[in-house]
Chains A and B, each alone.
Chain A
Amino acid sequence: MKNLVEVKNIKKNYGKNEAVKGISFNIKEDEILGLLGPNGSGKTTTIGMLLGLLKPTSGEILINGQKLEGNRIEILEQINFISPYIELPKKLSVKQNLTVYGKLYKINNINERIEFLSEKLRLGGLLNSITGELSSGQKNRVSLAKALINEPKVLLLDEPTASLDPEVGDFVRSFLEDYKKEKKISILLASHNMNEVTRLCKSILMMKDGIIIDKGNPEELINKHGRKNLEEVFLKLSRSKNELN
């Protein structure tokens, strides 16, 4: 499996504050990589750099073999992002929003694509609804449809199931698993939901204070730290002094 995402020793400083202190990792195709860490550990900054919204102070990011620096537009065509902190325009209908983003991502058969996604994400009856009037679960599925409108090779997910009820959360997780398997895409999943990470991710990066303090698959990490589950591993690492493993 080839690496769709290659992150090479990226650093990000805001003045004297070092938000990310030189981290490296790869994400293979057909892989979901979990990015864990307490608030302020550098996860959002890392995602921002992968999206080209932040310029790394140093280091290099390659997406599908292309350097992000200097190829931002070509790379943005191949990636997408979902976060509970960003929304789609509330006054537009679901279909209007998806059409707008279909156009922005230069999708040829927008209607077909919307139809496909609405079927997969159970949006059929919602296409003419006003986005701002939808429930959290419905909005989440619409945002997911927007994030998949361009058939991204790399999908960045920041807390994709935050504030969802267990049923919708489970639906979204199952959908992501199936979609990743079917399309062989790479997914970076930043989440505080340890059950979700355990279920979806074969490999995990634990970040703290801008560095990767541990990595491995969930089972390995649980055994290595002698804990019962990933949540306990997270708590142990979050409360410990930084140590590179």
Chain B
Amino acid sequence: MYGLFLRHFYLITRSFPRVLDLVYWPTIQITLWGFISNFFATHTTYYNNAVGVILTCAILYDFLFRTSIGFNMLFLEEIWSRNFTNLFIAPMKIGEILTSLVATALIRALIGLIPAVLLTSPLFGISILDLGIFLFFLFLSLYLFGITLGILVSAGLLRYGPSFENIAWSTMFLLAPFGCIYYPIEILPELFQKIAYLLPLVYIFEEARNILINQTVDIQNIYNAFIWNGVYFILSIALFYYSFNVAKKKGTLINMGE
């Protein structure tokens, strides 16, 4: 019994990502649900005028989640199936690898999204299409941010190897409290608000609520989301190239297949 305990204890103490994983999830869950509870306790009438705002935001967030995780999954699948080396010795430019993953991640996300959108109407009498033409821009923005996160995590996998996998699963949850998915940004403490304004998510979800609750459109929110998306997307691509070069120096690429 003690031997089995030791086997897992040694594993945890030898891997910082595993320790981080243990601390990370409770902290994030408590923070996120703390803000949600706080918001509903103090703003009981906020959602009265627009039934389905929460559900709409949940679908939007899920699309982001599916896109990001979908991208990571594509990368991780190659590691798990020990096919990674085969891919990286194929004559493909990094740009070609990224482009194919980005396109495949979109298809995966859409496969998950379409049934969810279709189900909300008969089950809850809500249609996400109430967001109108701006729904397209919100989805596009979420898709961009989703693949940006995917590329960032994949860069980490390239740089640090499979031990970075836990981070791959948790990036979306780390950002969730700052994304203001289910509550307006004002509910966050001032410091968190400053961080949130540096992310495209807050503009996307604020705008979704604005359209559904106030029936108005603030183009500036959509514009801000795209600006931040552009910044992070370019950064993620640069980081991926950098990680690829570091991996070639450190030997991560060759160890990944074993």
A interface, CB within 8 angstroms of B: 14, 44-45, 48, 51-55, 73-74, 76-77, 79-81, 83, 85-90, 101, 104-106, 146
Q: Please measure, in the bound complex, the distance between the C-alpha atom of A105 and the C-alpha atom of B254, giving whole angstroms.
A: 20
**Among the listed A53, A89, A104, which residue makes an inter-chain contact with B81, where contact means beta carbons less than 8 Å apart?**
A89
22 CB < 8 A contacts A-B:
A45-B254, A48-B253, A51-B89, A53-B89, A53-B248, A53-B253, A53-B254, A54-B249, A73-B93, A76-B89, A81-B89, A83-B85, A85-B82, A85-B85, A85-B258, A86-B84, A86-B258, A88-B86, A89-B83, A105-B91, A106-B91, A146-B86
> What is the size, in residues, of chain B's interface with A at 8 Å between Cβ atoms?
23
Q: Please measure, in the bound complex, the distance between the C-alpha atom of A106 and the C-alpha atom of B91, giving whole angstroms.
A: 9
State whether B251 touches A54 (Cβ < 8 A): yes
Q: For the complex formed, measure the closest distance between the CB of B120 and the CB atoms of chain A, giving whole angstroms.
A: 32
A87-B83 CB under 8 A given contacts A45-B251, A48-B251, A54-B254: yes
CB proximity to A under 8 Å, residues B51-93: 77, 81-93
Q: For the complex formed, measure the closest distance between the CB of A47 and the CB atoms of chain B, giving whole angstroms.
A: 8
State whether B88 touches A90 (Cβ < 8 A): no
Chain A residues, Cβ within 8 Å of B258: 85-86
State whether B254 touches A87 (Cβ < 8 A): no
State whether B89 touches A52 (Cβ < 8 A): yes
Q: For the complex formed, measure the closest distance between the CB of B245 and the CB atoms of chain A, giving whole angstroms.
A: 8
Q: Does B194 interact with chain A (Cβ within 8 Å)?
A: no
Q: Please measure, in the bound complex, the distance between the C-alpha atom of A73 and the C-alpha atom of B81, giving whole angstroms.
A: 24
Q: For the complex formed, measure the closest distance between the CB of B112 and the CB atoms of chain A, giving whole angstroms.
A: 19
A104-B85 CB under 8 A given contacts A44-B254, A53-B248: no
Chain A residues, Cβ within 8 Å of B253: 48, 53-54
Given A73-B91, A104-B90, 19 more A-B residue pairs with CB atoms under 8 Å apart are A45-B251, A52-B89, A53-B88, A74-B91, A79-B89, A80-B89, A86-B82, A86-B85, A86-B86, A86-B257, A87-B82, A88-B81, A88-B86, A89-B77, A90-B81, A101-B90, A104-B91, A104-B92, A106-B91
Interface centre among A53, A73, A76, A80 (most CB of B within 10 A): A53
Chain B residues, Cβ within 8 Å of A55: 245, 248-249
Chain A residues, Cβ within 8 Å of B254: 44-45, 48, 51, 53-54
State whether A73 touches B251 (Cβ < 8 A): no
Chain A residues, Cβ within 8 Å of B86: 81, 86, 88, 101, 146
Q: Does B250 interact with chain A (Cβ within 8 Å)?
A: yes
Shortest Cβ distance from B246 into A: residue: A55
Shortest Cβ distance from B85 into A: residue: A86
Q: Please measure, in the bound complex, the distance between the C-alpha atom of A14 and the C-alpha atom of B251, giving whole angstroms.
A: 8
Mask for B30-41, Cβ within 8 A of A = 1, else 0?
A: 000000000000
Q: Please measure, in the bound complex, the distance between the C-alpha atom of A54 and the C-alpha atom of B90, giving whole angstroms.
A: 14
Chain B residues, Cβ within 8 Å of A104: 87, 90-92
**Among the listed A76, A81, A89, which residue makes an inter-chain contact with B85, where contact means beta carbons less than 8 Å apart?**
A81
State whether A77 touches B251 (Cβ < 8 A): no
Chain B residues, Cβ within 8 Å of A51: 85, 89, 254
Q: Please measure, in the bound complex, the distance between the C-alpha atom of A89 and the C-alpha atom of B87, giving whole angstroms.
A: 11
Chain B residues, Cβ within 8 Å of A88: 81, 83, 86
Chain B residues, Cβ within 8 Å of A54: 248-249, 251, 253-254
Q: Please measure, in the bound complex, the distance between the C-alpha atom of A90 and the C-alpha atom of B82, giving whole angstroms.
A: 9
Chain A residues, Cβ within 8 Å of B250: 14
Q: Please measure, in the bound complex, the distance between the C-alpha atom of A54 and the C-alpha atom of B247, giving whole angstroms.
A: 8
CB proximity to A under 8 Å, residues B94-119: none
Shortest Cβ distance from B84 into A: residue: A86
**Among the listed A44, A77, A81, which residue makes an inter-chain contact with B91, where contact means beta carbons less than 8 Å apart?**
A77
Q: For the complex formed, measure the closest distance between the CB of A137 and the CB atoms of chain B, giving whole angstroms.
A: 18
Q: For the complex formed, measure the closest distance between the CB of B60 and the CB atoms of chain A, giving whole angstroms.
A: 31
Chain A residues, Cβ within 8 Å of B87: 104
Q: For the complex formed, measure the closest distance between the CB of B88 and the CB atoms of chain A, giving whole angstroms.
A: 6
